[in-house]
Amino acid sequence: MPEVMIAKNAGFCPGVKAATDRLERVILARRAGERIFTLGYLIHNEEYNEGLAARGVVAVSVDEIDALAAEATEQAPVTLLIRAHGVRREVSEALARYAAANPAFTVIDCTCPFVTKIHRIATDLSEKGADTHVFICIGNEKHPEVEGFMSCFAGEKYVFVDAQALEKALQGWLFPLISAKIPAIVAQTTQNLIEWKKCQKLFKKVCTNALIFDTICNVTDVRQTEAATLAAACDGMVVIGGVRSSNTAKLYDICRAHCADTLRVTDSSQLSAAHSYSLTHRKVGIVAGASTPREIIEEVYRTMTEAENFAKMLEETEVKNLHTGAIVTGTVSHVSDTELQLDLGAGVTGYIKADRVTDDPSVKLTEAFKVGDVIEAKVIRVSDIEGVAELDKRRVDSGKNWEKIVAAKEEGAVLEATVSDVVKGGVTVFVYGVRVFIPASQTGVPKDGDLAPLKGQTVKFKVIETKEQGHKAIGSIRVVLREERRAAEDAFWGEIEEGKTYTGVVKSMTSYGAFVDLGGVDGMVHTTELSWKHIKSPAEVVSVGETITVFVKSFDREKRRISLGYKTEESNPWFIFTGKYQVGDVVPVKIVSMMPFGAFAEIVDGVDGLIHISQIAMTRIGKPEDVLEIGQSIDAKIIEIDSEREKVSLSIRALLEEVAAEAAEEAAEAPATEE
C-alpha cells in the first residue's frame, strides 16, 4: 500500500470555518419557533449542505427575501445568514432595510473578511471617481463572490478569467480604455497565484498608473503552494472538494500540472469509481478545498489506508471494467516504435499499436512516451487465455481532443503546431492529435505563392471553423499574424515619442518623399527632410529596400501618421564647412553658376561661395564669363563667413594680388644689372 499524506492546510479556511462556527452557534441558541435560513449555500460542499437541510437550515434565493422579511414575527422569527462568498451590494442594502424595519427579521453577515476587503476597495474607488477609474477583476464573473464585489463599483468594470483573456483584451479594445482612465485590478480570493502574477506582469508592462491590489487570500496562497509541492513529491494525488467549489478546481489544476495521476472526489464513496487510481503508487497526497469538512478528509484517509479493503476495491474496479468497450488506465511498461505496452493491474498486460495511439504520423512513440507514463485507452479486444488486452488510445483521445479544439475556437486561443504536409489548396497541422486544415488563403503566403517552404515549420494559428460531423477543423495563420501585427502596432504607438530614433527599411517612394517601415508601422520622410540640399526625387538619396536610421519629428496617434527626419545636424553641409574652414583659408572650388554680379563656386557638397565680380580679377571686367567658365576648378580665398545667413564670400583677386606683391618684392630685392 502507498504512503498517504494529508496536506497541512487541507479543509476549511478561516473564513469558511468562521461562517460554519457562527451558524452552529445560531443553531444551538435557536429560539422557539425560530426559522434559520442561509442566503444561497453557506459554503460549496454538497454533503455539508445536505446535513444542514436535515437539521432544518434551509438555503434560499434572493427572490425569497421579501417574503421571508414579511413573514417574520415575534412568534416565528427569521434568522438569515449571508454566505461566506458575500452578496451583491443592492441585496446587502435591502437586507439592512428589512432588518431595521422588522425586529423579528435578523441578518447575520458571514462574508469572508478577505471578500469584504474587496467590497471596501470597490466602494472606495467608486466614491473617489467612478468616471476616472476602470475596475478590473481576474476571476470567474459568474462566481457569487465576484458578482458581489463587482456590484460595489459604479463605473466601467470588467472580469477576465485568466492571463490569456486579459492579454487578448490588452492587445485590442482594453488598451485605449486604460490609457484614458486609471485601472484598478483585483483578483478573486481563490484565484490561481501563478495566473494572478502573469496578469500583474501584463499590466505593469503596458500601464504605469495601474492600482494593483493583492486580494488573493493568504490561506489560498499557502494552500496552492503546498499542493504544488506535495504533488511534485507524490506519484498519486487525491483532491477533495465540492463540485461547484472554485478553489477546489484550482487545486486540482495545480496538482494535475505536477502529478499526472490526480483524482478529484467529493467524498470517500467516489474512490471505488476512481479507475485512474493504482496500487503501483508509492506515495499519495491528499489536499482539500476550503469548503471541505475535516470529517470528509479523515474518511477518505481511512478508506485509503485500510490496506485490505482499499486494495480489494481497486482490484475489483479494474477487473470489473476490463471488457470490450471499457475505458481503462494503465502504466507504460515498455515503449517501441511499433507499440506501447501497459500494466493494467490484476495480472493483465495491455498493448496499443502505433496506429491506434495517434492520428499524427509525425509522432514517434519512443520520443513521445516513456516507461511510467499513465495512459487512458479503450479496450477493443480481451484475451483471458493470453492475459492481454488490445487497446485504442485514439478513441479515448478523439472526443477529449475534439472538445479541446472546439474550446480553442470558442476562446479564440492561439495554438502552435508543425506543418505536417502541403496539400491541395493549403497545408495541414496536427494539434491535440486532431488534423487541422489551413487553406492557402489563411496561411499568410501571398496569393499563388509557394506553400512548400512552410512544411516542417512551427506555426501559430487559430481554429476559425469546426464541423462536428467527421471532426473537421479549419485554421488560420493569417488571423494570428494580423493580431500580432496589431499588437506590435499598439505597442509601438504606446512607446512612440518625438525625437526617438528607429532603424527602418525604405518601403516605397513618391515624388514628395519616402515611406519607411519601422516594424509594422510606416512613417514618411519628406523630400525636404532627406537632404540639406534641394533634390528632385527621393531616389537621389535613398533606394527601396535600403535600411536607414530615422527619427520622429512629429506624429498623430489618432490618425496614425508619423513624420520622420533623416538628415541630421552632423550631416549639415554648413556644419561640415565651418568645422573644416575659416576666414583666410585658401580652398579649391568649382564654378557652378554665373550671375551678372559674380560667380558661385562650390566649396563642399551643399555649400557654395560667391566670388563677386570685383573679386574675380585685378582689373575691371564686364562680366564673370570674360574670365571664368562653369565647371572650372580654381583656388579661392575665403574673405568673409556670414554664419547667421550661412553665406560665404570668396576672392580670386586676393590671391592674384598676393602673387603680384610677392613678384614685386622679389624684383625690388634683385641686384641691378650692369649695361
**Per-residue confidence band for 275, with pLDDT thresholds at 50, 70 and 90:** very low
Looking at residue 525, the DSSP 8-state letter turns out to be E
Domains 402-480 and 579-662 share a fold: yes
Tell me which H or E stretch contains 473.
strand 472-476
Domain ranges of the chain: 14-113, 114-216, 402-480, 494-571, 579-662
Write the secondary structure of 31-63 as one string of H (helix), E (strand) and C (coil). CCCCEEEEECCCCCCHHHHHHHHHCCEEEECHH
pTM tops 0.85, yes or no: no
At the fourth CATH level, the homologous superfamily of domain 579-662 is: Nucleic acid-binding proteins (2.40.50.140)
Alpha carbons within 13 A on the beta-carbon side of 399: 7
pLDDT, tens digit, for every residue of 149-174?
999 999 999 999 999 999 999 999 99
pLDDT of residue 92: 94
pLDDT at 176 over 60: yes
**Cβ-contact 4, 214 below 8 angstroms:** no
- Residue 284 in 3-state DSSP? strand
pLDDT of residue 319: 43
Average confidence (pLDDT) over 329-351: 82
Determine which of 297-306, 317-326, 340-349, 648-657 has the lowest per-residue pLDDT on average: 317-326
Backbone angles phi, psi at 293, to 5 degrees: -60, 150
CB atoms within 10 A of CB 46: 16
Could you tell me which residues come within 8 angstroms of residue 470 by beta carbon, excluding any fewer than 6 positions away?
A: none
**Per-residue confidence band for 320, with pLDDT thresholds at 50, 70 and 90:** very low
- Residue 363 in 3-state DSSP? coil
Average confidence (pLDDT) over 285-312: 76
**Cβ-contact 269, 318 below 8 angstroms:** no
Catalytic residue among 3, 47, 90, 145: 145
Average confidence (pLDDT) over 42-71: 88
pLDDT, tens digit, for every residue of 550-596?
899 999 888 889 999 887 666 788 888 888 899 999 999 999 999 99
Rg (CA), the chain: 41
Average confidence (pLDDT) over 437-464: 92
Query: What CATH number labels 402-480?
Result: 2.40.50.140
Backbone angles phi, psi at 83, to 5 degrees: -60, 165
pLDDT of residue 276: 40
pLDDT at 37 over 50: yes
Per-residue CA distances from 650 to 441, 591, 610, 617, 659 (Å):
67, 12, 6, 12, 17
* 145 assigned to active site: yes
pLDDT at 280 over 60: no
**Cβ-contact 395, 455 below 8 angstroms:** no
**Cβ-contact 455, 419 below 8 angstroms:** yes
pLDDT, tens digit, for every residue of 233-271?
888 889 998 877 778 888 888 998 888 888 888 888 777
Q: Which amino acid is at 169?
A: A
pLDDT at 386 over 70: no
Name the CATH topology of 114-216.
Answer: Cobalt-precorrin-4 Transmethylase; domain 1 (3.40.1010)
The verdict on domain 494-571 having CATH code 2.40.50.140 is yes
pLDDT at 279 over 60: no
516, exposed or middle or buried, with CB in 10 Å at 0-12, 13-18, 19+? buried
Q: Which residue has the higher pLDDT, 9 or 512?
A: 512
Which residues on adjacent β-strands are paired with residue 60? 39
**Cβ-contact 294, 360 below 8 angstroms:** no
pLDDT of residue 675: 47
pLDDT of residue 157: 95
Class of CATH domain 14-113: alpha beta
- Residue 21 in 3-state DSSP? helix
Q: What are the grid coordinates assigned to 44, written together?
A: 460549496
